[in-house]
Amino acid sequence: MMAEQAKQTSAEPDAADEGRATNSTQKVCAILRALSARSPQRLAEISAWTGLNKVTALRILETLIEEGFAEREPDGRGFARGPEFLALAASAGRSHDLRELARPSLVRLAELSEDTALLSVRSGIESVCIDRQVGSFPIRANYLDIGSRRPLGVGAGALAILTWLPVREIDAILGVIGPHLGPYPRMSVDLIRELVLESRTRGCVVLLDRVVDRMSAIGVPILSETGAVIGALSIAALTERISERAEMLCGALLRETDLIRREMGRGLATSSRPKGSAS
């Protein structure tokens, strides 16, 4: 009888077990975010990125490998996104979302500038690159890939998203973002605050030599019809290619974001039209 009671007791999760389960889920999510930001990565890099010790990070990675969400590099020293991770990302990309609406704009911007055009959205206090189009100029901004993450304010797209948020929200983000700026020694909370004011006055973000040496970018927010920030378009290139053409590139970006906003308005109008009504 006592053995049966002990068995039943051990099978019932208590509050502490549920807390650990939630914590374990958060750790898995942290690993997946690290892989989405940059792939492949060494174990030490993933550990530093997530704040998890190497033993815990390795245990989670081994499970993700078993499930197909991660895989080891051929040399055995790094970890990359697995086929299940890529399938999930591809599935998300097939939805009728901002990526689909912005894709023609990215193509036109890359053709016009001959440089790399990027689409970013917000994720908490980070900006995530969700699409890009590479132009024909031989020296390319390849440091931002689809899935790359940066703190809001770091990079033209990330700064454009931050700049056009409500002022109280900007203050809240700048109040907590400091510890996340370590990998970006040229950036600081005070500098980002100055750049926000400068960008609002200019009407677009111009970021020269602040994140990657000799590389710069220009960006503008994508706003909804109500003025809410839903993403950003940006162009990244060699610093001289941005500084010499800043006005022209800013105008092109603003035209494309206006087109995207109008397309979104048409989509909303179509979806709200009663079935059977005339087009």
The predicted-structure confidence for 114-145, as pLDDT tens digits, reads as follows 999 999 998 888 898 989 999 999 887 777 78
Query: What pLDDT is stored for residue 275 in this prediction?
Result: 45
Question: Mapping DSSP to helix (H, G, I), strand (E, B) and coil, where does residue 130 land?
Answer: strand
Average pLDDT of the segment spanning 73-94: 72
Question: Mapping DSSP to helix (H, G, I), strand (E, B) and coil, where does residue 135 land?
Answer: coil
Query: What pLDDT is stored for residue 90 in this prediction?
Result: 54
Confidence of residue 147 (pLDDT cuts 50, 70, 90): confident
Query: What pLDDT is stored for residue 88 in this prediction?
Result: 67
Q: Are strands 229-238 and 149-151 parallel, antiparallel or unpaired?
A: unpaired
pLDDT at 178 over 50: yes
Beta strands, E only, 124-263: 126-133, 149-151, 205-208, 215-223, 229-238
**How far is residue 37's CA from residue 49's CA, in Å, rounded to a whole number?**
10
Q: Which residues contact 68 (CB under 8 A, 6 or more apart)?
A: 82, 83, 84, 85
Beta strands, E only, 110-264: 116-123, 126-133, 149-151, 205-208, 215-223, 229-238
Beta bridge partners of 232: 120, 221
Query: What pLDDT is stored for residue 56 in this prediction?
Result: 92
Residue 71's H or E segment, with its range, is strand 70-72
**How far is residue 24's CA from residue 31's CA, in Å, rounded to a whole number?**
11
pLDDT at 4 over 60: no
Beta strands, E only, 126-250: 126-133, 149-151, 205-208, 215-223, 229-238
Q: Compare 225 and 137 and report the one with higher pLDDT.
A: 137
Query: What pLDDT is stored for residue 87 in this prediction?
Result: 63
Query: What pLDDT is stored for residue 13 in this prediction?
Result: 35
Q: Which of 67-71, 115-119, 141-145, 237-241 is predicted least confidently?
A: 141-145
Average pLDDT of the segment spanning 138-155: 85
